[in-house]
Structure 1
Amino acid sequence: MAIRVEDVLRREYKLPNMILQSGQLLSGAVLAYETFGRLSASRDNAILVCHALTGDTHAGGTAENPGWWEGLIGPGKAIDTNRYFVICANVLGGCYGSTGPGSINPADGRFYGMRFPTVTIRDMVHAQYHLVRSFGIDRLYSVIGGSMGGMQVFEWAVTYPDMVETYIPLATAGKFSSMGIAFNNVMRQAIYNDPEWLNGDYYGITFPEKGLNLARRLGMITYRSFDLYEERFGLSMVPTDDPFAMESEFQVEKYLSYQGKKLVQRFDANTYLYLLKAMDLHDISRGRGDYKQVLDRIKGKALMVGIDSDFLFPARELFDTAELLKAMGKQVIYREMQSIHGHDAFLIEFEIMNEWVGEFLESGGSR
């Protein structure tokens, strides 16, 4: 069942002046957000949904305008909007209504471009904190997200441990990997080397379409799995009179081209650069000391979900973190999804996701 139109609200929240993790001051910033469902009189039914790299505020949706997590959010689903008040904000640094490099700098009336300050996952969470408190919410029932969204979940759990009753990180880690940074580096170089990038000052002039297209193609390789590509494409070619011609294409190449073109139509290249950097810098222990000691700050109950075919965030990362937390006496449930879909399974495998997430939320984090 879809969410009723009257239960979906899109708004903008003006943030207070923020000192970012880098030490820079950001003034006049806003967060775009959507809410789904109704906040209870006791304000104890709020769930914060954190989106991934190219996500937006529209996690849930109506029959006419479905959300990107439509299979998980809505009446009768795991995140039941008849019971919970769901908040989803576009991250600080994003391009779906929140202040980012594609925004106008109020100080000089110009697009920020690469003059926008570096934003980290921790900064995103601080901004979300201000938004959540603006509703008069003292404690979130849950924080949930996958991939870059899961990074935010971890940061919430250690930065505001008294505000999180349960948390659900999916296909993610408490700190990024050198392999992930390596892939992000190549994606950034694809944009930097597009002549249309113009050092980030392309707004109103042109757009680094080829660079962002290529970056997305590489990303899509890391989001899927070997078995999925083999099953879906194999060595099938796009019909051609001459398969030996250099311009002939395999179906998997056509698919990557399609995905690249789709992203170019809906996302900003500078934002892509900034959010990749935020992922690279993600480490809940940065500036805080030993990683295990920082994990010990966590107080809420956790459901951690790894994916057996995840190439970008190998499931063992979440498993090892769950074991560390259990050894500290924390209440943690670890589940591993068996899926051919790779990293993006958390956006696809809704049957098992509804079962696991729904059971966890229903039980207050005990199962």
Structure 2
Amino acid sequence: MKLENKPTSITIQNFTTESGAFYASLNLSFQVFGRALHTAPLVLVNHALTGNSQVIGENGWWNDLIGENKTINTADYTVLAFNIPGNGFDGCVIEKHLNFNARDIARIFIEGIQFLKIKQLYAIIGGSVGGGIAWEMTALEPKITQHLIAIATDWKATDWLIANCFLQEQILHNSSRPIEDARIHAMLCYRTPESFAAKFQRSTHQELAIFNVESWLLHHGKKLQKRFQLSSYKMMNQLLKTIDITRNSNSFDALAAKIEADIHIIGINSDLFFTASENEATYEQLKKLKNKVTYQEIVSIHGHDAFLIEYKQLDNLLKDIF
């Protein structure tokens, strides 16, 4: 059994984005964990904004959910994770981020699946922007997967999300410390006032003579600056802003009705980014079109990041699928 590997690359040739930009070649790297390809049901994991294909192992960002005897048991499943082109994890960056939208990445992932001769996925699971790309993939290829698991995400970017991405872009373009400052703002979207109150209780950092919440935000900014590139942040922010399965297309109802997968929506009651109310509205709309759709909620004070924190709850919500 193959537990993990280093990123392997596929070359996507002659790709034209929806905006009309032509790329003679694009690098699409991926990692496979658990059972070897074509020997077990396959789960595609789409990473979030600062994530990558390293879902388990050293520096694996979803070690608590995926692995031996975990919710997604690598003894029973093949786990595939692509790097979103331009995320920088494989050393490849894309400078002209405005050429791309979330659907372009979905198209690239579909080409990767076809290249690997995968006929159908057992599940596509993704949180945040990764979940938005999962929505885009199933809208483009309604038969691609048996289960669509969309966590802390939605099929479209709302005005509120677009506004926050716009502010992120302004910081990334105009700040003298773009990655650090953008990350500080982003953390305010990913957490909640209640989460901060519970964690910091207005305490101060004696040596730095600042509030601990300020020290924590500065730490997160510096940490990301060390491992993330500016072009990658711009690219990922652009993708987040452009999630919309209905762009230049039919209505949501027409697209969603064609999706053959069982759709599992998991919201977070305190999410300030992809709000629970938007997730509930999507569920109510889907219920009129499909029988196999569920909505469940992570209950947490931690906001959007709860899908990376509340592993026991996520296990309970997902164990029946896996």
Same structural fold, with TM-score higher than 0.5 when normalized by the shorter chain:
yes
Q: CA deviation at 1:166?
A: 0.6
Q: Does 1:17 find its partner at 2:14?
A: yes
Residue 76, structure 1, aligned to residue 64, structure 2: no
Match of residue 310 from structure 2: 349
Percent identity for Structure 1 against Structure 2:
30
SS in 1 for 2:210: coil
RMSD (Å) for aligned C-alpha atoms: 1.7
Query: Does 1:133 find its partner at 2:114?
Result: yes
Question: What residue number does 2:53 align with?
Answer: 57
How big is the shift at 1:215?
A: 0.2
* TM-score normalized by the length of structure 1: 0.83
How far apart, in 2, do the equivalents of 1:40 and 1:126 lie? Answer: 21
Q: Which amino acid aligns with 2:27?
A: V
Distance, in Å, in 1 between the alignment partners of 2:316 and 2:178 is 40
State which drifts further: 283-292 or 169-178: 283-292
Separation in structure 2 between the aligned mates of residue 173 and residue 123 of structure 1, nearest angstrom: 17
Q: How many residues align?
A: 321
Give 3-state SS (helix, strand or coil) of 2:183's partner.
helix
Cα distance 1:182–1:88, how it changes in 2: closer, same or farther (>3 A)?
A: same
The alignment status of 1:232 with 2:223, answered yes or no, reads no
Q: Helix, strand or coil: the match of 2:319?
A: helix
Q: CA deviation at 1:9?
A: 1.7
1:100 touches 1:271 (CA, 8 Å); kept in 2?
A: yes
Q: How does 1:97-108 map to 2 (within 5 A)?
A: 97=90, 99-101=92-94
> Aligned-pair distance for 1:355?
2.0
For structure 1, the 5+ residue unaligned runs are 102-112, 196-209, 241-246, 362-367
Pick the structure with more strand per residue: 2
Partner in structure 2 of residue 249 of structure 1:
210
Match of 1:325?
Answer: 286
Gaps of 5+ in 2: none
Match of 1:187 in 2: 168
Bigger Cα Rg: 1
Per the TM alignment, residue 99 of structure 1 is displaced from its structure 2 partner at its CA by: 4.0
Amino acid at match of 1:58: Q
1:290 aligned residue (248, 251, 264) = 251
Which letter maps to 1:14?
Answer: T
Deviation at 1:169, TM superposition (A): 0.2
8 Å Cα contact 1:93-1:119 kept in structure 2 = no
- Name the TM-score, length of structure 2 as normaliser: 0.95
Q: What's the offset of the Cα at 1:343?
A: 0.3
3-state DSSP of counterpart to 1:7: coil
Work out whether residues 156 and 164 of structure 1, in 8 Å CA contact, stay in contact via their aligned partners in 2.
no
Per-residue deviation, 1:68: 0.2
